[in-house]
Structure 1
């Protein structure tokens, strides 16, 4: 994956995708008005390792040039559902709302946003169906799709924050993401990171939506599984089942939201596609193919309440070292 794609995916989702937090400035910034990029540069929020996306019209300004920041011009909107962002002559990113994305023909890279109550309800309904029945959204397991702002939807993204990504809207307000709380005006200094973590992102819709997400502590695992299924589909495994979501490969093991592996977003994800068994390691994004006996042994370790994380890691090390990575 090239560096620019990592920056784009990281800004959309709040995940790092291997990017390091820069010593100065934010890793990725999107501004709606070009003049705000110059203000951010003057305040130190655009550093040498920052990639900043600015509207195609308008000059970057001397302060932006002096920051040695990588500037990428865009056309369109990163925010509005139904819109499209054009980067250069050949790359287009669709922006779609969660509740309608499943009814559309997705023609390429797509960011799916949860931006209102209907989207929240659709997301939770899909997550519940996956947990209880092992039924998966075709859109969300598509390798070309990225779900935006995963933290507010229960996802695991520990580096999400203003050092990873920033958005500056047409009102000149800085936010973590387009739906996030205002952090100040472009050019202001950011408060301490600890203060920013609280309330930097917010879930659209009613208070009951926030409660519904919090009542599902297994959503971190669900997000990890979506990424595992995307990786499997990219390698031709379109029908994969996932341990803990409607099925166990060892039929004697329990199912349900209280199972230990359902509470650990970083535990290995175990998949079966026909006679092929796959393992996805969320912490690194690595994917491996192995045999059924090994997967079932790892499954028992993950589901047994007294099995510690280090026990599971020993199993991973045991079979990933000699195994061939899935795909080319």
Structure 2
């Protein structure tokens, strides 16, 4: 994955995709008005490793004093559902609302946004269907799709915050994400963006009840990890995969349901069955590898009933489960 693609995916989702937080400024910034770019440089929000996406009109040419940031011109909108972003002559990113994405033909890379109450309800319904029945949204397991702003939707993205990504709207207000809360205006806030942990998850564009519904589902972090595992499997040609803990177990005697131990750990290995092929996905690194049925059974027991698991399987799980505060994938 090239660096610019990492920046784009990171900005959309709030996951780092291997990007390190810069010592100064934000890693990625999207501006709706090119006139804000010089102001960002003056405010200290642009660092030597910042990538700035700004509208094509008025965005080319002049150097930014003290901030040798990469600058990428775009056409279209990163925000509006139904819109398209064009970067250069060959790359196009669709932007769609969650509740209608399943009814559309996705023609390439697509950012799915939760923009209103209907979108939130559709997202939660899909998550419930997955955890209860093992039924997965075809759109959300598509490798070309990225779900935007995952921390607001219960996803695990510990580096999400103003040092990872920022958005500056046409009103010149600075936000973590387009639909997030306002952090201030360009030039008077965030001269030294604080640690991501100080900000916590961004807000949802919905009712207080739905915000509470997300918070009351601690297994959503595991759901997001499983979606990424399924996307990786589909990218390798494995369709109709089953995921341990979501409507099934490879060992039918192990407990199921949102209260199962592995459903509360977004960094635990995700175990998949694709016919007679078995895969293990490591959320901490994004790594995937193929294994055999016996190993999957042993790993499943280690994840669900660690007190009774084989020592070898436990060592495997511990090896590939990184501390949450150190993981940015």
Q: Tell me whether the two structures share a fold, i.e. TM-score over 0.5.
A: yes
Is the contact made by 1:242 and 1:271 (CA closer than 8 Å) also made in structure 2?
Answer: yes
Q: What SS does the corresponding residue of 2:35 show, helix, strand or coil?
A: helix
TM-score (norm 1): 0.92
Task: Give the drift of 1:67.
Answer: 1.1
Structure with larger RCO (C-alpha < 8 A, sep 6+): 2
Q: What SS does the corresponding residue of 2:73 show, helix, strand or coil?
A: strand
For 2:52 and 2:314, the matched residues in 1 are separated by 38
Q: What SS does the corresponding residue of 1:213 show, helix, strand or coil?
A: helix
For 1:237 and 1:311, the matched residues in 2 are separated by 28
Partner of 1:228: 229
Partner of 2:216: 215
| Aligned residue runs from structure 1 range 37-186, under 5 A | 37-59=37-59, 62=62, 64=64, 66-186=66-186
For 2:317 and 2:193, the matched residues in 1 are separated by 38
Is the contact made by 2:163 and 2:193 (CA closer than 8 Å) also made in structure 1?
Answer: no
Task: Give the drift of 1:44.
Answer: 1.0
The question of 1:20 aligning with 2:20 is answered yes
For 1:282 and 1:94, the matched residues in 2 are separated by 26
Over aligned residues, Cα RMSD in angstroms? Answer: 2.0
Partner of 1:324: none
Q: What SS does the corresponding residue of 1:74 show, helix, strand or coil?
A: strand
Partner of 1:256: 257
| Greater Cα shift, 63-72 or 204-213 | 63-72
For 1:233 and 1:89, the matched residues in 2 are separated by 28
Task: Give the drift of 1:43.
Answer: 1.2
For 1:97 and 1:36, the matched residues in 2 are separated by 27
Gaps of 5+ in 1: 320-328
For 1:176 and 1:242, the matched residues in 2 are separated by 32
TM-score (norm 2): 0.92
Gaps of 5+ in 2: 321-329
Q: Tell me the alpha carbon deviations over residues 261-310 of structure 1, each in whole angstroms, 9 at most, x when there is no partner.
A: 000000000000000000000000000000000010000010015479x9
Aligned residues: 318
Partner of 1:246: 247
Task: Give the drift of 1:62.
Answer: 5.0
Is the contact made by 2:151 and 2:201 (CA closer than 8 Å) also made in structure 1?
Answer: no
Q: 1:199 to 1:110 in 2, by over 3 A?
A: same
Is the contact made by 1:260 and 1:305 (CA closer than 8 Å) also made in structure 2?
Answer: no
**Regions of 4+ moved over 6 Å:** none
Q: 1:75 to 1:192 in 2, by over 3 A?
A: closer
For 2:285 and 2:200, the matched residues in 1 are separated by 28
